[in-house]
Each structure stands twice: as structure tokens, then as C-alpha cells.
Structure 1
């Protein structure tokens, strides 16, 4: 049977039809209010935006979701995990400053912000998944403590996964810093000798005792290394560099395996919303955003993340492309626009296929406009 995906379009001509009010209608039409028990600690996962980026989900929408969670007797908190790359969200202090600067303060949202993997991205737990790429994954501890989860994802392009939506928001988003390294690359790390200050912090945090640091050498034994990324996120001088994989499908599959592990113990307590607006070519992790590749489409909600991602992708692909980055492309109706924007990717198809293979949902959906 087809999964139900609910959609609010962009049309409004009265206060009762504002996009904020429509978001509340989606919340109840999709049955999200049925997920909560009294006093459930409910994680509201979204990207708080990198400074300089303006495409991320607006705080006014987040506040409406928080209001509805509280109305049902649950307790909401906003959350995300620290980034792997060195930017303004790589530790909790900078991350919280960025969240507040972009409008996600308690005063505006009426909910606290809790960074899921702690001060330096090391507050994580191993979750057993036993899938094709990973036996265990490293996840920010606080999301595992939450009773329920609502994902607010900005649906947009991504240079490595084709597009970023629900699977990226939850899977990549809640991976600890070491977990994000695991997802981004199957390539094992190396130490750049000229930048190593022999502080031994990497040795301290290596779980496999595979790092040798002395006066004559700084090396990682690849016969023992499991690619967990702890050394990468620990090194204070970036002598152990982040490894970025250039292929799409492997990253997409590893990201979905993280998603699987994060939601597996709260499958009946998860809800997913995609904002298919400001569909920028690149991720909100960039400190800028280019013009959208299509016009604003609307907001979609479902308890089935696979159906939600497929419906969002179909709507974007069936839309007329906007001028700008796609202006000189001869795109036929229904063709994957993200494949044109990021030709080294598969346009994000594999993440949806793989999620369905892992029984996370169905690509067969019924789109219901409210």
C-alpha cells in the first residue's frame, strides 16, 4: 500500500492560510500528534545554518513545530551535532553562537538548543547496525536519549550526495564528528609529518592503538586502523587531515546506514518534514547560497522517510528549472535536476533506493495536498 505524504503548497491569501498555519495543519494531518506520550523528550533536528547562508529553514517554522509538540504534552528541544569540517559549528560553543545568531534562541523558539555530540564532538555512543558498510556507527549521545524525533529538513542540492533531505539531516547530521568521517570516506587517514607537534592526543583517543608518534616518525598502521575518525577530529593542528571521498553512492549508503541506526529504536516515534523551498544548489553548510534551481514548491510531511524523499525529489524534477545555474542546460521534464547541478553524483537516487532496501519505507507514495 502506498505511503501517505502530505503537502502544503505556497499559496496563501489569508491569515488562516499562511504557510506557518499550514505547517500546523500538516503536523496534525500527518498524525504527528499521535507519536507523543506525556513528557516525552522530543528532539527537533534541523540545520542551524552556517553564518552567511540564508537558505536554511526559518526559525518561525521551527517555533510552530515546538508549539505543537508542547500542546501534546511533550517537551521539545532543538538539536544538531557538530560538523566534521572546521567552520562555525565544529564545537558546541561556536555551534550555539551560530544558532543564536541565525535566530534559534530560547527567546524566539521557546525551546533549548542541545548539541547532540557534546563540546568537542566526542560525546558519542556506538550503535550496532550490522549492515553492508558498518557493524557499528558512532552517533551523538543525546539523540539516543531522546524519546521521540521530528526531522525538519531543508531539501536542496549537495555536492557529494546529489541532494540533501531527511536522510542527510538525520543520518549525516547526528553522526558524531568521528561518525561523519566514517560516512564521508572509506579512505584511511594519514599523518602529515611536517604539521605534527607530537602532542599525542591522537594516540590517547585511538581505540585500536594503531598510531605511533615519536621523534623519528608519526604514522598510522593501516593494517589495524578501522577508519573511525577519532584521530582526525582530535588533532589540534590538522596534521591528520579529513579524507573526502569523491564518489556519491558509497557516501549515500553509509549515510543511510547511520539513519537506520539512529531511528531503529524509536521507529514509531519519528516524524519527517521536508521544506522544498529555497532549493539551493549546495548544502546549508556553505557560508553562502546561490539562487534556487526551481521555484518554491511547498512543505511535505510523512511518517515514511523514503516516501517523503521520493515525493520531494519528484516534485523538484517535475518543476520547470529556474534561470541561473541550470539556465544553459537542456533539461527535459522529469529529469534529475540535481544530477545536472552535481554531475559527479547520481542525483541522490541511491540513498532512496538503499533506504527502501533496508525496509525504512516505500518509494510508492500517495501525495495528499491539504
Structure 2
């Protein structure tokens, strides 16, 4: 089998070419022009960064990609789906506010921002996962599935549940609606914190399956009736409804791969990863720690699996930054991500993604 091509450029610049110009050259050299963008809607999936976290990708990078898409005749938009947890991106209004706070706007990026799963995280499309072992129908943000072309811009960094967050994490988990995220994170149903609940009844009103009742000004969920749609999480004004978040890390990683398959299947896609500010944990945190390794560079490929492997290999070749979490944990496993988060194995998602036909672990690294 022919190796997938992964293109790479370092963060070194000259007086004749800055980082944004290098990114542009990387994307063009990697072959994005092979995609027919003419009058096509192109979703650029990105993480806008949780407020308080400063490791997210700068909007300047997104503008480079959006400008290329427009030059090729396409209609780009930046997108992400709402979060399952409580924070600055729980609903589309807060999510847009957070994006603007972090510098993302039509003025800075040259394209509009559309939250993929709507106002409350419930605007979704059920996408069949053919042969899915864990997911039969992935619940994907509607706007993302409406796009003709799908592009990812990934901040490659560590992650406590998946080992690292790269292309597959950005696609699978990032494109899931609230119910989709709950399906990936949980084997059980949501629960209501009785201490936080004030009995307002918003959850009961939104439940389409009559699974929630109010007794003595406290809500409770009948798990026999609950289908795990997550709507109650989105409407609770007190953040009293919590997902079970009880799925094993290995199955979580496999579900992410199946969700990625649902997003990518049947349409052109292209993937860009920036291995910079490699924080130990996800940009979903409202903080970021010292990077675990020095900045590596920028990567691009049509194969998201090969891209993730190439980025992981590059990180593992880097020296450990003194004072980082990786330095504190020590190098015991010959793998930086395992050393930071030993309770998870990032190779599970890679191997499963190969098994279901998402891409290849074998790659040819082409440096430009």
C-alpha cells in the first residue's frame, strides 16, 4: 500500500517569508487546489479556545486557509460545535462571544463563524456509521454536514482522555452535537445534581420522552425513558445536569474514530495541524500549562490518520521543556503523551481508524 503524503514546514522564517506565508505555501504544496471548491460551501473546523486558555491557534492562521478557499471559488466558514461541559462555549451565543474574545471574527479571518450544532447544541444530523462497532448513527452538527467540503485546522497538543488532540479529535469529538459528545464520553445517562437544581422545570419541558419529573422542587431523570439526547444539559440555567462521562478511554477513542468516519465519508476533506504551544491538556481547559516540548512546525495532508501519526512522531523526537508537566512526570514510557497521561493510549484511536478505513499509519514526510 502506498504511503500517505504528509507535508511539513518548520517555524523558522526569513526576511522574505513569514509564518503565514509559509503556511500558505504548505497548504498549496500539499495539494488543496486538487479539491473542486467552485461555489462550494467549505467548513473549516477549528477550536476557538476556551476563555482563559491562551494556547489556541491564532485567527491569523485561519485567515490563510479561508483566503485560499475563496481564491479557489469556495465559500468558507469557520465552525465548531458546542461543548458538553459547562464553560464559555456551552451554547452558540456564549460560543460566539468566546470566539470574538479570542480574536475570531469575520474581520480578522475573512469569513463568517457558524456554530455547527445551533443555539443549544441540539441542531444535529443523524449520520449512519456503516459497520460501526460502537456507534450506529453519529450525531453531527447540522451546519457541518451541510458543507460540501470539510477542512480541519488542528492545534496539536496533549489530552488527558485521548493522549493527544489532533485531527481525529478535532473531527470526531469536535463535530459531535451535545448528544453526540455525550454518546462518545458516556456509556450511561445524564444525572441531576440535587444540590444545584432549583426545580425550574426547564429540563422537563424540553424532554421529548417524558423522562424528567419535578418532585418537591427537584428534578430527577428516569433512565428507563431517557434516550441520552443531552437537551436537558443545554437548557439547565443552573448547570445542574451532568453527563455520566463513564466511558473507558479506549472505547471513547474508538467512538471518536467512528464519528470522524461519519463526518468525512463521501466528501472532499483536507487537514492542517500546527504543532506549536504543545500544552499537556486540551484547549477546552480555561487555562493552559507550560508547553511540554518546543514548537515543531506545521503539517498538512489529505490523510488525517497519517497526519496525526506524523505529528505524534515529531513531538516524541523533541526534548522535554524544563518545568513542564512532562518534566515533572518524567520520561518513563518512551512516549511524551503516555508520560503526561499514562491512563490512556493514543494508539488505540489510530489503529481503529486504520481498521475502519479512515487512513494509513504509514506516511512519507515531505519537508518544504
TM-score (norm 1): 0.92
> RMSD value over aligned CA atoms?
2.0
Change (3 A) 1:183 1:191: same
Structure 2 CA distance, aligned partners of 1:188 and 1:159?
22
Q: How far apart are residue 182 of structure 1 and its match?
A: 1.4
Q: Which moved more, 1:203-212 or 1:63-72?
A: 203-212
Q: How far apart are residue 193 of structure 1 and its match?
A: 4.1
**Any unmatched runs of 5+ in structure 1?**
none
Residues 1-370 of structure 1 mapped to structure 2, 5 A cutoff: 1-16=2-17, 18-130=18-130, 131-214=132-215, 218-245=219-246, 247-266=248-267, 269-324=268-323, 325-331=325-331, 335-346=334-345, 348-370=346-368
Q: How far apart are residue 327 of structure 1 and its match?
A: 2.2
Structure 1 CA distance, aligned partners of 2:137 and 2:204?
21
Q: How far apart are residue 203 of structure 1 and its match?
A: 3.6
**Any unmatched runs of 5+ in structure 2?**
none
Q: Which moved more, 1:45-54 or 1:224-233?
A: 224-233
Q: Which moved more, 1:226-235 or 1:358-367?
A: 226-235
**Partner SS for 1:15:** coil
Q: How far apart are residue 321 of structure 1 and its match?
A: 1.6
Structure 2 CA distance, aligned partners of 1:48 and 1:37?
24
Q: What do residues 174-200 of structure 1 show as CA deviations (whole Å, max 9, x unaligned)?
A: 111221111111122223445444444
Q: What do residues 319-356 of structure 1 show as CA deviations (whole Å, max 9, x unaligned)?
A: 22211222245527x9211111112222x111111111
**Partner SS for 1:327:** helix
**Partner SS for 2:326:** coil
**Partner SS for 1:170:** helix
TM-score (norm 2): 0.93
Aligned positions, number? 365
Q: How far apart are residue 159 of structure 1 and its match?
A: 1.3
Structure 2 CA distance, aligned partners of 1:73 and 1:217?
54
Preserved CA contact (<8 Å) 2:190 2:243: yes
Structure 1 CA distance, aligned partners of 2:197 and 2:63?
45
